[in-house]
Amino acid sequence: MSTSLLRRAVAEGLGTGLLVAVVIGSGIAAAKLSPNDVGLQLLENAFATALGLAVLILMLGPVSGAHFNPVVSAADWRLGRRNGTGITGRDLAAYVPAQVLGAIAGAVLANLMFGEPAVSWSTTDRSAGHLWIGETVATAGLIMVIFSLTWTGRAAMAPAAVGAYIGSAYWFTSSTSFANPAVTIGRAFSDTFAGIAPGSVPGFVFFQVFGAIVGAGLVVVLYPDFGRSAEVVVPHKDAGVVS
């Protein structure tokens, strides 16, 4: 692996890990601060996640593009093949493991910060058809937000827009919008407010992938003349060369 790719993979792992730490940590804090009000817990969790994600994109976007999500990386690779843009297959092979490992590390970090066991497998079952529909909608919408902005030259708006979308999708989707296979895996390592039982992970991941395919297809249909200079999630440079 080249130094350039290693640096970007580290950024993806770090960003995904910190995102999971924000999601789980704010969930634990919300449960402690508002123990008798689930609605308020969700509001606190969503608010922290939306702001944290926007900040992470701003911080690490210039290094790796701030995907922090395997389906975003896969969509960038696949859609980029149409126009000679996006990440390469080699980049994708480095990004995805880094994102998954980072997510697991982020869950462990959040657990330890709040005095929980480093790993406590979640017991929150999320296996139901309506939740899978929610994940499909959440992930398709996320892909559409990201690529509609980047393909039309508005990538500078991505940090705020992606954060706002995820924050709102906590509320308008039945699944509370995981929309990210790596984050889903990481959240299985914490038996807290934001957790998901390991047995529920495959169903969520399957429908996240399906949602990403739907979202990418809609982007191609809606923006057929764009995409020639896509930079996902934000423009990034490495060694002075736009990647």
Say how many domains are in the chain: 1
User: What pLDDT is attached to residue 66?
Assistant: 97
170, two tokens: 């906590």
Q: Find out whether 165 and 142 touch, Cβ atoms under 8 Å.
A: yes
pLDDT tens per residue across span 151-186: 999 999 999 999 999 999 999 999 999 999 999 999
User: What pLDDT is attached to residue 233?
Assistant: 64
Distance CA 71, CA 74 (A): 5
User: What pLDDT is attached to residue 97?
Assistant: 98
User: What pLDDT is attached to residue 80?
Assistant: 86
Find the domain containing 223 and state its range: 3-242
User: What pLDDT is attached to residue 86?
Assistant: 86
126, two tokens: 């999320």
Phi-psi label, residue 121: left if phi above 0, alpha if psi -120 to 50, beta otherwise: beta
User: What pLDDT is attached to residue 138?
Assistant: 98
How far, rounded to the nearest angstrom, does the alpha carbon of residue 18 sit from its chain's CA centroid?
11
CA angle (156 as vertex; 153, 158 as ends), nearest 5: 100
Distance CA 139, CA 212 (A): 6
Q: Own/partner pairs for 35-44, CB < 8 Å, 24+ apart?
A: 41/193, 42/170, 42/171, 42/176
Mean pLDDT for each consecutive 10-residue tract of the chain (243 residues)? 91 98 98 96 98 98 96 95 84 98 98 97 97 98 96 94 98 97 98 98 98 97 72 53 30
Domain with residue 119: its CATH number is 1.20.1080.10
pTM of the predicted structure, to 2 decimals? 0.92
Q: Find out whether 42 and 171 touch, Cβ atoms under 8 Å.
A: yes
User: What pLDDT is attached to residue 237?
Assistant: 55
